[in-house]
Every structure is written in C-alpha cells, then in structure tokens.
Amino acid sequence: MEEGLKKYVHDLRVAAVESPRPGYVLLKLEPYEGQLPDMLPGQFVEVLITNSPATFLRRPISINFVDREHNQLWLLVHVVGEGTRSLSRMQAGESLNCLYPLGNGFDIPEEQGGKMLLVGGGVGTAPLLYYGKVLREVGWEPVFLLGGRSAADLMQLDLFGQLGRVYVTTEDGTMGEKGYVTNHSILNGETFQAVATCGPKPMMVAVARWAKQAGLSCEASLENLMACGLGACLCCVEKTVDGHNVCVCKQGPIFNPENLSWLN
C-alpha cells in the first residue's frame, strides 16, 4: 500500500510501561488531547531520545498495536543499545516525542472472506498484531505462525490468540513444533490466499521462497537500520531485482519480495 497518510510530530504521554520478557519493553502511549491519527499496520514511528546525551538520531519503532478503545499507540521496543535502553527506563506519566506514522503499510484486502498467513520471528512479530486486527475488521481470517529460539522468545501470544489461530515453532522444541517457521506442518496442511512476514531477513527470504512456490502473494516488513525515517540519509537502502536501491524507510518498510534481489 502506498504511503499517503498525514505525518505528525506529537508529544505523547506514556500511559503504561510493561515488560513482556527480559530485554523488551512495551510502551503504551496516548495523546494529551484528541484522538490518535489514522495509522496503517506495518507503518512505524521515529521517537526522540531526550535523556541520552550520546543519542542524536531518532529511533524507528514498528507500530505494534493501535488500541482505539483506549486511544493508545503501542510500541514494542527491543533493548539493544543506549537509545532503546533510555526508552526502557521511561515511566508512566512521562512524555515521548513521536514523528508518525511513517512508511507504507501492509496491503488491506478489498474483498472479504480470505485467509492470510502472518509469519513472524523475534521482535518481528510486533507489526503483525495490529495487522491481524485490521484484517479481522475487513472480514479476513488472520492465521499466525510465530517462531523463536525458545518459548521464552515468544511474546503477546494471548493477544494474537484473541485475533486468530496461533501456531508456534521453537528451535529447541520448548513450545510448538521444533524447528523453523518454514518447517511447520501448517504450510503443507492448509490453504491461504496471501502471506505477510516480518522478522530476521533469512527467515523472511525463506518465507518468500515458500510463498512463490505456493503461488501466493507475499509482503515482507523490512527492519533495516533507519536513521532519518524520511529517505534522506540513505543508510537503510535495499537492492531491488533490477539492481537499483530503494530506501526502506520511505519506499518501505513493506515490500513485495519479488521486487527485491532476495529470490535471485
């Protein structure tokens, strides 16, 4: 889906801070007044880090969920550096400056009655929660296939379960089927109309190859390092099938993998 929604720079109030597992923090944000703007599943937010002197650039965070009932925007943050560590220390009542919504979103089907497989790994499961909600709202059935190294890596399974069926793989076999998501038995036992994926690049490439062999349309949400979020710094480029480069933050983060160099 092409990018087209209006962009905003808002100070949002931290309504709650949760820890779904060690090394991750879930920020639930709300506007100080009015309603949150329209956002598409797959879009992201560039957040300003104000209490970290060594952090100069905004940090891109996928939109995990938009809770219209409580007027909240959820950001699931993987704590990997000083910027995200600063975010993990935030407390309810504090303010976070956000530039949003950025990038394009997953395709929203116009027809009803389809079934889509949503494949996620690690923190890449984050944007699939909101996408699953929107798919249900337009009359599609989302089916989630989520993978991790172990059961401890899997997050928000109860929330995914409220939206559709959830299947799990773990590399060590501590939950669900043992192995990678592309080895799960559901891939051979059920028919889907489309596939969407987000997670580590090798996983997404494998999912894209399976989708192509199955004759299914596929979209992938890329997680390249993004600094500006507006296509100016060129640090997030990805090579296309015809040898050109595209900025993931501006022309993505959602792509049809067949347009990238992945399947060559």
85-95 pLDDT tens trace: 999 999 999 99
Angle (CA) 216 219 223, round 5°: 150
Flag whether pLDDT at 2 surpasses 50.
no
Q: Do 63 and 35 belong together in one domain?
A: yes
Establish if 145 belongs to a structural domain. Answer: yes
Q: Do 216 and 124 belong together in one domain?
A: yes
Burial class of residue 54, CB neighbours in 10 A (0-12, 13-18, 19+) = exposed
Establish if 247 belongs to a structural domain. Answer: no
Q: Do 129 and 189 belong together in one domain?
A: yes
Establish if 240 belongs to a structural domain. Answer: no
Using only the alpha carbons of the chain, give its radius of gyration.
18
Q: Do 123 and 93 belong together in one domain?
A: no
Q: Do 143 and 210 belong together in one domain?
A: yes
Domain finish residue from 48, 79, 102: 102
Domain at 201, CATH number: 3.40.50.80
Query: What is the tally of structural domains in the chain?
Result: 2
Q: Could you give the 3-state DSSP secondary structure of residue 174? A: coil
Domain finish residue from 44, 79, 102: 102
Name, in order, each residue with C-beta under 8 angstroms of 81's C-beta and a sequence gap of 6 or more: none
Q: Do 89 and 138 belong together in one domain?
A: no
Establish if 227 belongs to a structural domain. Answer: no
Tokens for 24, please give them.
């991750």
Picking from 84, 95, 46, 82, the residue whose alpha carbon sits closest to that of residue 229 is 46
Establish if 45 belongs to a structural domain. Answer: yes
Q: Do 89 and 119 belong together in one domain?
A: no
Per residue in 153-202, pLDDT (tens digit) is: 999 999 999 999 999 999 999 999 999 999 999 999 899 999 999 999 99
Picking from 129, 64, 106, the residue whose alpha carbon sits closest to that of residue 195 is 106
Q: Do 84 and 181 belong together in one domain?
A: no
Per residue in 98-152, pLDDT (tens digit) is: 999 999 999 999 988 999 999 999 888 999 999 999 999 999 999 999 999 999 9
Q: Do 68 and 125 belong together in one domain?
A: no
Q: Do 144 and 198 belong together in one domain?
A: yes
Q: Mean pLDDT, the chain, as a whole number?
A: 91
Domain finish residue from 206, 221, 236: 221
Tokens for 54, please give them.
């060594």
How many angstroms separate the CA atoms of 240 and 248, rounded? 11
80 compared with 35, residue with greater pLDDT = 35
Phi then psi for residue 143, to 5 deg, are -125, 125
Establish if 263 belongs to a structural domain. Answer: no
Q: What global pTM score does this model have? A: 0.93
Establish if 236 belongs to a structural domain. Answer: no
How many angstroms separate the CA atoms of 257 and 254, rounded? 9
Q: Do 67 and 136 belong together in one domain?
A: no
Q: Do 98 and 127 belong together in one domain?
A: no
Mean pLDDT of 8-17: 96
Domain at 67, CATH number: 2.40.30.10
Establish if 109 belongs to a structural domain. Answer: no
Question: How distant is the alpha carbon of residue 68 from its chain centre?
Answer: 18
Domain containing 40 equals 8-102
